[in-house]
Amino acid sequence: MLDFYLLGLARSGTTALCNALNLHPNIYCGMERFSIPHGPSSIIFPNSFLDKKIRGNPLGHEHARKNLEAHENLNTFKVIGDKLPRKIYCPSHITKTKSNIFIYRSYVNVTQSWDARAKNPIDGWSKARTGLFLFFDLLLYFEVLRCQENTTIVNFDELFFGNFGSELQNIFECLNLNSDDYPLKLFETGFFSRKTNYLRSSDDNRYNTIADHIGLREFENEFFNADNSQRLRLVKEYGDFINENSTQFLDYLTMLVQPREHEELFHLTNLIERNFTIKDRDKYFSNTDSKFDLIRSIHRTNSDDKLLKVIGLFPEFATPYAALSRGYGQRNDLDQALDKIRKAIDLNGDNPHYHFHHGNILMRKGDLEGAEKAQNNAIKLNPTIPAPRFQLSRVYAKRNELNRAIDEVRKAIELGDDNPSFHSHLENLIMRKRNLNGA
């Protein structure tokens, strides 16, 4: 059994707080390291987390040391926990810890931070995951917390920009540990404050209006002036409130999706289906001809008829064109596949996956120059995705440009992808180069 979970909406400082807790000699807090069922025997340690030369982070060596210690013997630590903002979608697992730490940041600030990441072309954050959808995560967190007794609730602003010593001490006490000078000193020097100074967009009006409509303004006015016991009571009360009114709020949020945000509407159907009860989902998906069901069908079927219906309803929605292209590609109708993916790119040229798919089709048609250009476009839009690098390597290999092919597949592997195909391709390229040099 883990001792605690560190909870908080994405962009609420959970990573920075996790870093701080790991500076305490008796704490090991994984960063979404534990698999299900949670326990020491199922801890996940990617190679990057065991690397003593973690780059670009002044805490890298400390992280590597603690990860290595935990990997060898978790009994080294008195308290073991996990940061899991994404695993909130398995709320039943939250009850398996002795304590919970929940960090709360102002709703409007978090939504703006989500928007800033969604609009950043080189960020791996989903471009459709804008602040509009923060409500869904918020509902899940409050659903969990309203059923908990053993939770310390932390105010983001107080922790990172205010009375950090008191807030951090409360956390240590929650974990039945004494304080420690090292993390306190780093907070005092502002190290973690700089780390949490997230980008923000300027769409204040939209999110202030939502906050008023769903009762968050009133909740936050009380929350930020309360002590921990009062905060826990307020969280439970607000959790009850939004749970009882979730269907009404979902109606309200779907009305806010603008025509220019069809990608958001697509994301919305996924969130509703994945996170809400059958009763709530039936409200949106009971009519098989409804726009929500049609959009959902992009995931569920390759039916051209349904995808064409989506296009008829939302002619500026790029996703169904991309889905049609994938279907045609699977049926080896490359001309139609090429036509549809180019329409998707015309509608949403900022999606690197569309350019990646475009390059794959061009390569299958033998257009290596066009394939190279398309994969480079994907890389330019998001240089952190390994797959376009791999496909670019295959293009160079077909042209017998072996050095360039080797460089690109090595870059793909360096990006953290342990795909066996990448390694096999690299080995084949090295063998080809040796044979060529030997000849």
| pLDDT value at residue 384 | 85
Who has greater pLDDT, 388 or 182? Answer: 388
Say whether pLDDT at 269 is over 90. no
pLDDT band for position 36 (50/70/90)? very low
Q: What percent of the chain lies above the pLDDT cut of 90?
A: 21
Looking at residue 128, the DSSP 8-state letter turns out to be T
Question: What is the rounded CA–CA span in Å between residue 108 and residue 428?
Answer: 52
∠ CA(363), CA(366), CA(368), 5° rounding? 60
> How many alpha carbons fall within 13 Å on the CB side of residue 62?
17
Question: Among 111-125, 246-260, 342-356, where is mean pLDDT lowest?
Answer: 246-260
pLDDT at 53 over 60: no
406 has pLDDT over 90? yes
- pLDDT computed for residue 168 by the predictor: 81
Backbone angles phi, psi at 175, to 5 degrees: -95, 10
d(C-alpha 204, C-alpha 106), whole Å: 12
Mean pLDDT of the chain: 77
Q: Which of 89-93, 270-274, 368-372 has the lowest mean pLDDT?
A: 89-93
Residues 6+ apart with CB under 8 A from 107: 134, 138, 207, 211, 216, 220
Judge whether 138 and 86 are in contact, CB under 8 Å. Answer: no
- The predicted pLDDT at position 332 comes to 94
Closest CA to 184 of 174, 196, 172, 195: 172
What is the 3-class SS of 192-217, one letter each residue? HHHHCCCCCCCCHHHHHHHHHHCCHH
**pLDDT of residue 373 exceeding 90:** yes
Per-residue model confidence (pLDDT) at position 4: 85
| pLDDT tens by residue, 177-226 | 887 776 777 666 666 655 555 555 555 678 888 888 889 989 999 998 88
Q: Is the pLDDT of residue 138 over 50?
A: yes
Name every residue whose Cβ is closer than 8 Å to that of residue 66 and which is 6 or more positions away in sequence: 22, 28
